[in-house]
Structure 1
């Protein structure tokens, strides 16, 4: 599990346990039981697990304590703590639907084949007011086939994310995947949550035919890369897919050009450049990509100055807009942005991670060979998409020099890309 985003608290295990064990009404102003419960994900020990179990057993009805209980259940799930299943099971009867949801998810993460517990989870589908998507997903993950009849009641749910989960779960539990095309159809839904949810369902069902459609879905590339990478790993391992088969979709997502996406939004009238720039800050990336396309197609001359202005004002500190600005400067081949792109390439803040790969590709687009050494240095990074994007950019810049580090990279996709570049370099030198 990637824990880079969890290691944000300057607490030892003992300190976190002490804070978590403190009664809520005696907690000091600078302490947080919620933070302590979250931080213990870094300590998979008996002491941490026991402390998290004690936190769940504290049934003080205050909102603060309910939130701490939820986080404790979640952390135990992330730790895959088998010993915690009995206490997590008690949360399935909780009055708080969010606690129930996290308890179900946590049991799914830990793994459970106790049919009594699985039936108890399935019965939650008959209970009003529950968060059914996670329940359905967990029942499918744990392969509880007796739940099919209950799950079938949700294939026409008003909530598209529940519909998608239900159809996918029935396919998985029945072994009949004919209906999975209905799940893939949600990739073009106007609701961003429906698009994101169905991507997860396609991953869980290992529905490989959807890979090209996932690549073209207008959601953040984080969701699409995760999906294609996951499907590639399982498909290649099972001998169903090859690197060459998934490479076009993988690199399409990394390039992330709006012309390669099936956009689900449109403007009812020609927008001003000011309006389009503001759309780069939208939480629905479908709207962001429409804005990117408009800037490239309609405002290519004015766009660089407008992008640099919004970068200075806000985008430098907004990781969504930051990503789009960096990518657009590359597509616009704005050579004057070289220093800004190098800065983005080297920005190690976790929230700006996807901008680093975007900066690598943008440097390839503007064609400044000064970037070659900086891009080669990125091959030492532990971040796979930055390494892969750097290889793509180096290839764009015509660099076929040594990639010894990447050639022995632990990631098979990186190694496959390096092998391909090496073959091309050999062909270039000896046609």
Structure 2
């Protein structure tokens, strides 16, 4: 479970979680609280909670709830980032349950500790599994900066599954500077399949190749996912280059990405959404972010009077939808709709983790609408918010306000 959603189990005490996670599922009215308890312990810092997670992560079971709890415990160990958890994570690589192996692999990569030669070989052996497992293993090897010692990953660049091939291309880019692997990933950013686009965004972030930044600013995938990869690339480049021009160019790309204007995205593979109210409503709630962006673009192109009426209707009836909320906060600023500035103020003040991206949109909209009364809150977010893209946005907004 993402750290951004730790508030979901904030009412569960550590002591309660320690007990729930080892309680027999048959004794619980809601056995699902067991894996919630595992996530809770992942946010703790005590040795007792770490030991309990290791204990649960080491136990195999035929019971569905116990299996899911084990997966969550393996995932939580990655959050704890303690190398003492590595033995149980390595042991889990031989499990026949694919999600169990994937969670173990992800946590090994997240801990980031050096692996012994034997442990590296055990990780490589986990490539012999389903495609999702192959992808996770390649990503772990890449994030641990482990080379393709036996050429297996190189062979997977030709895999029929683009998610496997994409991870293999990213590995080649990051560890061997194989520039010819950049093209396939950039092409995949325009795939009609949203899952493949998202995978390419992740792979480009892992590859940490500067040439991918511009393409990420235009890819119709959710802004937070693109921002995560873009900041990985920016950080990697700042560590190898002190060139001022390069840093300015990188900052320009980050700013463009975070402002996220749907009118500048590469939406060509899609059929355009007509600037009609119902089509826009449907598009904004589509599961494919490209359709959401296309609907936001159509909203921007509506006649002014109809646009304002639709924004009011969307805010009233669909404003609790996180995606709609974000795009409304963005479009009001992009279109400089001063008469709807209260919508922007409200979005900036939302404290729920699910609205963090709306606060980014609102910060940029405050700049466009010249909402100087929001400067204290923007300054607070720039200094204290845990999410880097929001801190970075607020810092840049303050600079431009001045």
Q: Fold-level match, TM-score > 0.5?
A: yes
Which residue in 2 is equivalent to 1:254? 258
How far did 1:393 drift? 5.0
Could you say what secondary structure the match of 1:143 adopts? coil
How far did 1:190 drift? 1.9
In structure 2, relative to structure 1, the CA distance for the partners of 1:268 and 1:261 (3 Å cut) is: closer
Q: Does structure 2 conserve the Cα–Cα contact (< 8 Å) formed by 1:264 and 1:286?
A: no
Quick check: 1:372 aligned with 2:376?
Answer: no
Q: Does structure 2 conserve the Cα–Cα contact (< 8 Å) formed by 1:252 and 1:260?
A: no
Q: CA RMSD in A?
A: 2.5
Partners of 1:77 and 1:155 lie apart in 2 by 28
- 5 Å-filtered alignment, 1:82-231, equals 82-110=83-111, 111-128=113-130, 131-147=133-149, 149-231=151-233
Which residue in 1 is equivalent to 2:345? 342
How far did 1:135 drift? 1.1
How far did 1:123 drift? 2.1
Q: Does structure 2 conserve the Cα–Cα contact (< 8 Å) formed by 1:20 and 1:33?
A: yes
Which residue in 1 is equivalent to 2:33? 32
Q: Does structure 1 conserve the Cα–Cα contact (< 8 Å) formed by 2:148 and 2:154?
A: no
Q: Does structure 2 conserve the Cα–Cα contact (< 8 Å) formed by 1:148 and 1:170?
A: no
**Unmatched tracts of structure 2, length 5 or more:** none
Partner deviation per Cα, 1:42-82 (whole Å, 9 max, x = no partner) = 22332112111221233231111110000000111111222
Quick check: 1:325 aligned with 2:328?
Answer: yes
Which residue in 2 is equivalent to 1:266? 270
Partners of 1:205 and 1:289 lie apart in 2 by 26
How far did 1:125 drift? 2.3
How far did 1:236 drift? 1.8
Could you say what secondary structure the match of 2:122 adopts? helix
Could you say what secondary structure the match of 2:257 adopts? helix
Among 245, 249, 252, the residue aligned to 1:245: 249
Could you say what secondary structure the match of 2:213 adopts? helix
Q: TM-score, normalised by structure 1?
A: 0.84
Partner deviation per Cα, 1:135-189 (whole Å, 9 max, x = no partner) = 1111222333345522233223333222210111133343433322322222222
Q: Which stretch shows the higher mean deviation, 341-350 or 123-132?
A: 123-132
Partners of 1:217 and 1:225 lie apart in 2 by 11
Could you say what secondary structure the match of 1:44 adopts? coil
Among 294, 312, 315, the residue aligned to 1:308: 312
How far did 1:299 drift? 4.4
Could you say what secondary structure the match of 1:113 adopts? coil
How far did 1:336 drift? 2.0
Q: Which stretch shows the higher mean deviation, 246-255 or 68-77?
A: 246-255
Q: TM-score, normalised by structure 2?
A: 0.89
**Unmatched tracts of structure 1, length 5 or more:** 401-431
Partners of 1:154 and 1:166 lie apart in 2 by 6
The higher relative CO (CA closer than 8 Å, separation ≥ 6) is in: 2
Could you say what secondary structure the match of 1:234 adopts? helix
Partners of 2:210 and 2:307 lie apart in 1 by 38
